[in-house]
Structure 1
């Protein structure tokens, strides 16, 4: 599995209803895309949930890396890049991903990107992050929870989908979920 996210920072006076409309109209196009676990169509408005910017920032969980490659080579992504520019696409190797049967009820998302100290004990960090991911789902707190790492910049990602936005820290980026594209059973 692999997680992927790109983000477009939009001007402070950008009409975010354009993004809402884009999500509504284009969101269903990826429903059932091959090798997709889920795609969360995410947006944040400046100063909402502490966001510093207006953002359009989809997050993907791919069952196989080929899914990410196929999407990035697709006409759908080409159209997106034509409209907003060619984004930096971040990817993370999955340590743990848990998805509840109620994922379709997600209305909010949170994402933390955490830097690792040089020579940090990766096995211990993976074990702790994976346990947190499992707990969020087992207790019913989150509807999906993903943790992983990226060994070029030595960063970790913690991403969760929620019915209601939980209390968040200053470094957490929160989003509204406009649409969820899910794998076909």
Structure 2
């Protein structure tokens, strides 16, 4: 599986109602996309939980063929026409948990951290698996643990039905819609 995210930083005075409306109108369009494990339509408003206004969808694909079909689709073309040409981050997935209630998510957290040179990746994966399980026990509806070996980063992505637990690291988002075939 592959985790994927792109993020658009919007001006500080941008009307985020435009993003929320776009999600409400178009979110359902990937509800049955073949090869998609799930897509979360994420946005963050500048303030207490974000330093910037963001539109930042996060995907988990079953394989690269499905991801490529999406990136070659008219929907992606329309997205780039509306927001610009994004840098897309990809992470091979180590572990994933997605409950049957994933579509009830209202918040998401994403924490990206560097992996130090010569780190024992099997040990790190086990540590990340334990962190994933801990967050599921604390109420995460979905949890993804993945890594990226070009810049050597790891990502922990979580979906929550209520405000994430205090001290949850990384970027916080609001979830506008979850597409899950």
Q: Tell me which interval the TM-score lies in, with the shorter structure as reference length.
A: over 0.9
Structure 1 residue 135, shift from structure 2 partner: 3.5
Match for 1:144 among 142, 145, 163?
142
Distance of aligned partners of 1:89 and 1:168 in 2 relative to their CA distance in 1, 3 Å threshold: farther
Structure 1 CA distance, aligned partners of 2:129 and 2:37?
Answer: 18
Provide the C-alpha distance between the structure 1 equivalents of 2:122 and 2:27, rounded to a whole number of angstroms.
37
CA distance in 2, matches of 1:180, 1:16: 18
Displacement of 1:7 after TM fit?
Answer: 0.2
How far does residue 171 in structure 1 lie from its aligned partner after superposition?
5.2
> Across the two proteins, how many residue pairs are aligned to each other?
181
Question: What's the counterpart of residue 101 of structure 2?
Answer: 102
Counterparts of 1:75 and 1:47 in 2: how far apart (Å)?
Answer: 33
Distance in 2, matches of 1:53 and 1:129, equals 27
In the alignment, what sits opposite 2:86? 87
**Is 1:7 matched with 2:7?**
yes
Q: Which runs of 4+ in 1 moved over 2 A?
A: 134-137, 167-171
CA distance in 2, matches of 1:131, 1:12: 37
* Secondary structure of 1:34 counterpart: coil
Q: 1:103 to 1:171 in 2, by over 3 A?
A: closer
Specify the alignment match of 2:28 in structure 1. Answer: 28
Partner of 2:163: 165
Give the Cα–Cα distance (whole angstroms) in 2 for the partners of residues 116 and 67 of structure 1.
28
In the alignment, structure 2 segments of 5+ residues that lack a partner are: none
Q: Find the residue that maps to 2:76 and give its secondary structure.
A: helix
Displacement of 1:23 in angstroms is 0.3
Query: Aligned equivalents of 2:4 and 2:167: distance in 1?
Result: 22
Equivalent residues in 2 for 1:63-82, closer than 5 Å: 63-82=62-81
**Pairwise CA RMSD:** 1.3
